[in-house]
Structure 1
Amino acid sequence: MLPVPGAEIAYTVRGSGPPLLLVNGGDGDAAMYAPLARLLSEVCTVVTYDPRGNSHSRLTGPSEAQWIEQHAQDARLLLDEVAAGEPAYVLGTSYGAMVGMDLVARHPDRVRALVAHEPFVVGLLPDAERWHGFFQEVYEQYRREGTEAALRRFAAAVGVEGPPEPAEHHPAPVREMLARIHANAETALAYELRSFVRFRPDVEALRAAPLTLVVGGEGPRTLLHRTTEALALHVGAGITDFPGGHVGYLTHPADFAAALRGVFGL
């Protein structure tokens, strides 16, 4: 556990070699990265963690709106704890990609290279205000009808399937992970979604950063493909297809690990 302002961050370290930080998106926790982390720990010191307010990372301050910049500070403090000043490779997915972008923009000396997987930078879209209005409606539906109804509406509009319900045919660790993720969804709807999508990346800093933008090339086209394309236009970068869809790191861990090693030169 790492104490940070307003929270305690639960983290896991695997392997040895140059540090590699894996940053979750949405309602995920460190267990979603476990298959990928085990593979990458052959060549790296892999750090995974539960974002503040999710799973084992409890809040020590009041429950209130969270911000990407706050999560990026958590990531920096975690690197201070485990990397001993050595710059880290970073993979961030969805919200986690935005955390990685803020981290590299504010602390370029701490990031050796960043892979941003389907960053949810809605604010860069020409119809951003329409989406902000929609996310407010999702929040209001959550307040009226509960988490599941709001998540179904969100998933249908964005084009990304939500996690399945825990079931008896799942192995026990998977059931436990899915139960945590479903519990985390309430935090995501109440305190993350509307504030996180207001994040505006430092485009000038990202143009000079060691940044690779990637999307899941095997899934359906989603809103996150649009946001990644918008960011690519702003920073003058190309986009690389990675295995699987939005959670390709979990569904295709071996192929995803190989693609990530290729980008990082590991």
Structure 2
Amino acid sequence: MTTATTHTLDVPGATLTYDVRGPLPPADGRPPLLFIAQPMDASGFGTLASYFPDRTVVTYDPRGLGRSTRSDGETANTPQQQAGDLHRLIAELGGTVDLLGSSGGAVTGLHLVSAHPDDVRTFVAHEPPLLGVLPDAQEAFAAEKRVQDAYHQLGWGAGMAAFIALTSWEGELTDEFGAELPDPAAFGLPTGDDGSRGDPLLSGISNAITAYQPDVPALTAAPTRVVIAAGIESTGTLTWRTSSALADELDQELTVFPSNHGGFLGDEYGQPGQPEAFAARLREVLDSSA
């Protein structure tokens, strides 16, 4: 396995920490392969990176997450600001990358391609949680608020249990969601409240990500090859539906990957997906556009 070297980059209002596996510039002439997510940081991509020993792979922690610090006095996570950070990071890497963005990272990637279309050769957007593209968007935003209310009123365990229930819901959302909160203990989650309220997934500080409206004309006009993807095990769930709806807006077929929303994960968080199969599918998608 190629050893990662860690670097920092000062950007307006933050210092980004990123890891590079392989030479810069890449020895084979291909652009670096950049993996991004949100609110997950670089620590979740170690296993996936190991399946690309022939590529220079870069991972990073978005501002305010993991090892990347903020000095802007803000807490909100927005695709626009994070896309600006990535634009500066990509310039540091040589000016062009292939990009896998997962979850909120996929949303950031969509804005990056819209605002800086020459930065990315191929962009694989894996399960972007774009609630506004759904036919039941109003109900989806209301369900998101119920999850956040559970977190703020009852603590992390209750909020995470509600979040799991939301992301597991199949089909269009109705008023039934959240009428009865799930028991955190049923998911092996703590039932007590430690008093913290800063979780980036549950607190609402990432609402700009789920509310983001993609610029479809800019995405279709960009020289970037944009691939909208979702895991087969996610079929019918919220992020499968958002991915499918976006693919329809871009007049493309949804590209199906193995496993689920975290299908690229190894044992980083104790809930492994199918990283080897995910990597093989990603390689196939990237090579088909080379």
The 1-side partners of 2:261 and 2:51 are apart by 19
Alignment partner of 2:34: what SS?
Answer: strand
Moved over 4 A (4+): none
Bigger Cα displacement from structure 2, 216-225 vs 95-104:
216-225
Give the structure 2 partner of residue 53 of structure 1: 64
2:67 matched to 1:84? no
Counterpart residue identity of residue 158, structure 2: A
Pairing 1:38-77 to 2, within 5 Å after superposition: 38-40=50-52, 42-77=53-88
2:201 is matched with: 188
For residues 204-254 of structure 1, the C-alpha deviation after alignment (integer angstroms, 9 at most, x for no partner) is: 122234111111113553100110111011110111211111111112222
Aligned-residue RMSD, C-alpha: 2.3
Q: Report how many aligned residue pairs link the two structures.
A: 244
The change in CA–CA distance for 1:12 and 1:228 in structure 2 (over 3 A counts) is same
SS across alignment from 2:68: coil
* Structure 1 position 37 matched with structure 2 position 52: no
Distance 1:129 1:234 in 2: 19
Deviations 1:134-167 (A, max 9, x none): 222322222221122111101101218x9x989x
- The structure that is helix-richer by fraction is 1
Q: Is the 8 A contact 2:130 2:242 kept in 1?
A: yes
Task: From the superposition, tell whether residues 254 and 226 of structure 1 become closer, same or farther in structure 2 (CA, over 3 Å).
Answer: same
1:66 Cα shift? 2.1
- State the alpha-carbon separation in 1 of the partners of residues 98 and 198 from structure 2: 28
Please name the residue that 1:175 is paired with.
Answer: none
Question: Contact 2:34 / 2:100 at 8 angstroms: preserved in 1?
Answer: yes
2:213 matches 1:200: yes
Separation of aligned partners in 1, 2:161 and 2:252:
33
Match of 2:248 in 1: 233
SS for the counterpart of 1:103 is helix
User: Once the two structures are aligned, what percentage of the paired residues are identical?
Assistant: 38
Find 1:146's aligned residue among 132, 145, 155: 155
State the structure with more CA Rg: 2
- Structure 2 counterparts to residues 1-266 of structure 1, below 5 A: 1-16=8-23, 17=26, 18-26=31-39, 28-40=40-52, 42-81=53-92, 83-85=93-95, 87-159=96-168, 186-208=199-221, 209-219=224-234, 221-250=236-265, 251-265=273-287
Please give the TM-score of this superposition, normalised by the length of structure 2.
0.78
Instruction: Give the match's secondary structure for 2:20.
Output: strand
CA-to-aligned-CA distance 1:162-202 (integer Å, 9 cap, x gap): 9x989xxxxxxxxxxxxxxxx99712323533221110011
C-alpha distance in 2 between matches for 1:185 and 1:204: 35
CA distance in 2, matches of 1:45, 1:141: 42
The one-letter amino acid paired with 2:41 is D
Letter of the aligned partner of 1:11 in structure 2?
Y
Matches of 2:188 and 2:150 in 1, distance apart? 20
Contact 1:64 1:191 in 2 (8 A): no
- Describe the superposition over 1:55-94 as per-residue Cα deviations: whole angstroms up to 9, x where unpaired: 211221223322111111111111112x222x21000011
Q: 1:242 is aligned with what amino acid?
A: F
Gap regions ≥5 residues in structure 1: 167-182
In structure 1, the residue corresponding to 2:245 is in which secondary structure? helix
By relative contact order (CA 8 Å, sep 6+), the higher-ranking structure is 1
CA distance in 2, matches of 1:8, 1:184: 24
Equivalent pair of 1:8/1:59 in contact (CA under 8 Å): yes
